[in-house]
Amino acid sequence: MKKHNKYNSEVTGAEALILALLDENVTDIFGYPGGAIMPVYDALYDYMDKLNHYLVRHEQGATHAAQGYSRVSKKPGVVLATSGPGATNLITGIADAQIDSTPLVCITGQVASHLLGTDAFQETDVLGISMPITKWNIQVTKAEDIAPAIAKAFYIATSGRPGPVLVDITKDAQFGKTNYQYKKCESIRSYVPYPKVNIEDITMAANLINEAERPFILCGHGVLLSGAEKQLLELAEKANIPVASTLLGLSTFPPENPLYVGYLGMHGNYGPNLLTNECDVLIAIGMRFDDRVTGNVSKYAKQAKVVHFEIDPSEVNKIIQADIAVLGDAKESLELLLPKIKSKNRKEWLKRFEECNVIEDEKVIRQAINPDSEKLRMAEVIDKFHKISEGDAIVVTDVGQHQMITSRYYKFNQPNHFVTSGGLGTMGFGLPAAIGAKVALPNKEVVTVLGDGGFQMTIQELGTIMQSNIAVKIIVLNNNFLGMVRQWQQLFFDRRYSFTEMKNPDFIAVAAGYGIKGKKVTKRDDLYQAIKEMYEAKEAYLLEVVVENEENVFPMVTTGAGVSEIILE
């Protein structure tokens, strides 16, 4: 492998890129080569002892793998792709990362600068295409500008509210020569990633919380991004405040803590949804009042004063008006808040959540995990998986019914142990994201729960697992339907199942073709042992569980309904 003094030495632009990634402590890259990025791949050949490159089977897989990597490691995921279709294949994953605040650094090759705008072979305006879905993007046409662009890219991607960035590098810039020097970016004029917390806002928020009889904390992904789990726990326990989580906030708060009352949203728990409209102070921390959480905004928490802790000013008052907005990093804000918070007995308020839990347990949960039906149910699979793994697995899901069931029935014991596509709801996310998570934390068990539909959108990434020997465990809940769409067709379209029934391949045979062991389960008596075998396997393993075709996910807040109008069946 190549060895030389990287500082003040003349290198190609392509090598400058590799050296810049090393200076940003990058160890893993997900990518796919092609003509316009070939000089970078040639330079990478000399650094394979320092950089691990994972060859995906589709560029979308690279972005999702980088997302999974970032979400569990709290480091930016790095993606390489070529121009034209290579770059456009990244777009879905970049959009997913943007809405879910996941830091990615995507590097694309581009045609030579003299060909820009000529519709040259594999030329697309990737800057124009990606501008609405990146935190920042740039096109580099000179070798000497590559290192500064990479430094700026990493700073922007990881600071403040994180997100994806894209650096598009022309082929002549990759071939050009430059004297390599690297200076990390630590500030950019007019860019303020961390708003200074206003102490007066903290004091007003504390006073409102202290006076409240029925306060309610809604915690989101921002708590995990900030690393504020400890401060959140201290706040809840000091003031005896119930805590509910958004989808991306799952794993933020200990599930066995009596103050944890469940999961918010369209298919969340009964109590947190219903009692949102009974609290007197709603404390939103690191969440953005997504429509899946609020339901009909005109019916949402009208009785409550709202305190919103948020790092991104654009999210404040965007959907729900805040009585007090505390701008800043969640961890810093909560640390300033805690000394001002008083202890208070709120037994009667907490009792309301317990009463709701009893109702949900009787009407939904018991039947879901101990069904009297002949066919297996999704919830019983996840319940058994949780018990076998003792809540310690990193769980990655795709999007659909299985995602909602996993969110409801798996209890996460540790932060950043749940990876899913939230805001964009991207089918095909699960398998490649699990690959990235396993690459980031190879000593952790990583299990991805997929539906038969989403699995087939990125099923080719089994090839990445095979080639790089990545020990991802896969559970496919197969109902031979696009289950979530089918549920809506059943409930709201008179069971007119228009193009949602799926004729699937032999998944076990497909996995075997990639050298991956597998088993198919159709009977309840075989389920526990099959999950145990899958979980304890030392290599990649695919477990297909055939489940009831027309199982529905409840509770449910239907379209146009308020959160207090949640239905149980």
Judged against a pLDDT cut of 80, whether residue 8 lies above it is answered with: no
Phi-psi region of 416 (alpha: psi -120 to 50; beta: other; left: phi over 0): left
Going by pLDDT thresholds of 50, 70 and 90, the confidence category of residue 523 is very high
Q: Is 361's pLDDT higher than 80?
A: yes
Is the same domain home to 400 and 460?
A: yes
More confident residue, 372 or 515: 515
pLDDT at 2: 59
Calculate mean pLDDT across residues 35-57: 98
Reply yes or no on whether the pLDDT at 522 is more than 80.
Answer: yes
Which tens digit of pLDDT belongs to each residue from 217-240?
999 999 999 999 999 999 999 999
Please determine, for residue 427, whether its predicted confidence score (pLDDT) is greater than 80: yes
93 within domain boundaries: yes
Same domain, 460 and 518: yes
Asked whether the beta carbons of 105 and 97 are under 8 A apart, the reply is: no
pLDDT tens digit string along 308-331? 999 999 999 999 999 999 999 999
- pLDDT, tens digit (0-9, with 9 covering 90-100), for 343-358: 999 999 999 999 999 9
Query: What is the pLDDT, as a whole number, of residue 5?
Result: 53
| CATH number, residue 307 | 3.40.50.1220
**Angle in degrees, 0-180, between the axes of helices 229-239 and 330-337, rounded to the nearest 10:** 30
Confidence of residue 139 (pLDDT cuts 50, 70, 90): very high
d(CA 287, CA 1): 46
**Of 282, 197, 528, nearest to 387 (Cα)?**
528
Portion of the chain with pLDDT greater than 90, in percent? 97
Tell whether the model's pLDDT for residue 1 goes beyond 90: no
For residue 228, being part of any structural domain is answered with yes
Same domain, 28 and 163: yes
User: Does residue 536 lie in a domain region?
Assistant: yes
- Residue that terminates a domain, selected from 151, 179, 207: 179
User: Do 25 and 140 reside in the same domain of the chain?
Assistant: yes
The residues annotated with a catalytic role in the active site are: 59, 121-122, 171, 484
- In this structure, what CATH number is given to the domain that contains residue 514? 3.40.50.970
Total tally of structural domains belonging to the chain = 3
* Same domain? 35 vs 175: yes
Residues 322 and 386 in one domain: no
Position 554 in a domain = no
Model confidence band, residue 278 (pLDDT cutoffs 50, 70, 90): very high
Average pLDDT over all residues of the chain: 96
Residue 273 CA to chain centroid, in angstroms? 22
Q: pLDDT confidence of 259, banded at 50, 70, 90?
A: very high
Say yes or no: 88 and 130 in one domain.
yes
Note whether 402 and 524 are same-domain residues: yes
Can you give the length of the chain in residues?
569
Last residue of a domain, one of 319, 353, 387: 353
Whether residue 278 lies inside any domain: the answer is: yes
pLDDT of residue 373: 87
Domain presence at residue 563 = no
Q: In what order do the strands lie in the sheet with 77-81?
A: 52-55, 28-31, 77-81, 104-110, 164-170, 136-140
Residue type for position 214: R
pLDDT at 329: 97
Taking alpha carbons only, the member of 129, 154, 333, 265 closest to residue 566 is: 265
Do 289 and 324 lie in one domain? The reply is yes
| 57 in any annotated domain | yes
CB contact at 8 A, 429 and 61 = no
Indicate whether 348 and 434 sit together in one domain: no
* CA dist 107 → 160, 164, 231, 378 (Å): 21, 11, 36, 39
Q: Do residue 324 and residue 431 come from a single domain? A: no
Mean pLDDT of 142-160: 98
| Residue type (1 letter), 512 | A
Is the same domain home to 157 and 94? yes
Is 27 contained in some domain? yes
Q: Domain limits at 347? A: 199-353
Residue 489 pLDDT > 80: yes
> Does the pTM exceed 0.85?
yes
Three-class SS of residue 441?
Answer: coil
